[in-house]
Amino acid sequence: MPEHSRDPIIVATALVQSLQSVVSRNVSPLKQAVLSVTQIHAGGAYNIVPEEAVVSGTVRFLDREVNELVRQRMRAIAEGTAAAFEVEIECDIRNVFDVLVNTEDLVEGYLEAARDIVGPDQVYLKTAPVMGSEDFADMLHATPGVYCTVGHAGSVPVHNPGFVLDDGILPVGASLLARIVERRLSPA
């Protein structure tokens, strides 16, 4: 008797579709934000309307004001969806990782060490922001540092189900770290 239920799958899909409007209709095109729904979990049997659904995902931003706007819109959409379907929606929005910003005066030292290890033609400085999500951001709030990426032989990027670690790159990463230490400890 599904007509007597409040189907959480229908609610979850309506919520997800509505959330997709937040970035495109609320965030200025001159600002950056990414809102990704990455999981929907509900039910365990094919012939039973489940009791609840859980929707999860990420929000990425470069500006804290944009983050606050996105959070406000997500809560408002959840409240409106809950009212429309006569259900309860619990919003648990956490800022898991902050924006990662390298310590500017340490960047050149890293680049020099990288040039020593892999050669100048293999070192690239990215100046455009990246919308990744990285816990190293929190470390940079506690201590100065530089986040870097080290290439690999594979063609599939990280955070992709098809990614396979090319462990041949590990000695390069270790050498980079060692060279940075050597350069910082060497007398000028």
Which has more confidence, 111 or 188?
A: 111
Query: Could you say which of 3.40.50.720, 3.20.110.20, 2.60.120.1360, 3.30.70.360 is the CATH number of the domain covering 2-85?
Result: 3.30.70.360
The pair phi, psi for residue 61, each rounded to 5°, is: -155, 165
Half-sphere exposure in the Cβ direction for 56 (13 Å, CA): 6
Residue 188 is predicted with a pLDDT of: 59
Domain ranges of the chain: 2-85, 104-185
- Which pLDDT does position 129 carry in this prediction? 87
Residue 15 and residue 89 in contact, taking contact as beta carbons nearer than 8 Å: yes
Judged against a pLDDT cut of 80, whether residue 104 lies above it is answered with yes
Asked if residue 37 has pLDDT above 70, the reply is yes
Quick: pLDDT tens for 118-137. 999 999 998 888 887 788 99
- Per-residue HEC secondary structure of the chain comes to CHHHCCCHHHHHHHHHHHHCHHHHHHCCCCCCEEEEEEEEEECCCCCCCCCCEEEEEEEEECCHHHHHHHHHHHHHHHHHHHHHHCCCCCCCCCCCCCCCCCCHHHHHHHHHHHHHHHCHHHCCCCCCCCCCCCCHHHHHHHCCCCCCCCCCCCCCCCCCCCCCCCHHHHHHHHHHHHHHHHHHHCCC
Residues 6+ apart with CB under 8 A from 175: 117
The backbone region for 141, taken as left when phi is positive above 0, alpha when psi lies in -120 to 50, beta otherwise, is alpha
pLDDT for 1 beyond 80: yes
- Check residue 134 and give its pLDDT: 85
pTM of the predicted protein model: 0.77
